[in-house]
Amino acid sequence: MLVQSMLGAITPNFRMVVLSRDNEGWVVKFHLQDDVEEDVEEVNDIICQYSAYQDSSLKCKWEILFGDGELPVNSETDRVVYRRKEPFD
């Protein structure tokens, strides 16, 4: 459902999107290269669409992380649902 919500919303500024779960519910982390207002609005639209696909009991929060440094290593329980191709040094 998250991938479906992201269709047509991803721009070259999006580096990675990760879906995980904590004690309170689902967590979606958006890693963006730059703080671009239009992309932040896209994230809000993605979460709105994702929530619309779920039932009312969905507990979901999201984070937007900015930067062009090395992307974090995810735990085994995290699911990368999008990652752009980036050159390796």
Structural domains in the chain plus CATH codes: 2-83 (3.30.70)
What is d(CA 15, CA 32) in angstroms, rounded to the nearest whole number?
5
Q: What is the pLDDT of residue 89?
A: 56
pLDDT tens for residues 4-48?
999 999 999 999 999 999 888 889 999 999 999 999 999 999 999
pLDDT of residue 33: 97
pLDDT at 84 (0 to 100):
95
The answer to whether the beta carbons of residues 15 and 80 sit under 8 Å apart is: no
Q: How confident is the model at residue 54 (pLDDT cuts 50, 70, 90)?
A: confident
Which one is predicted more confidently, 86 or 42?
42
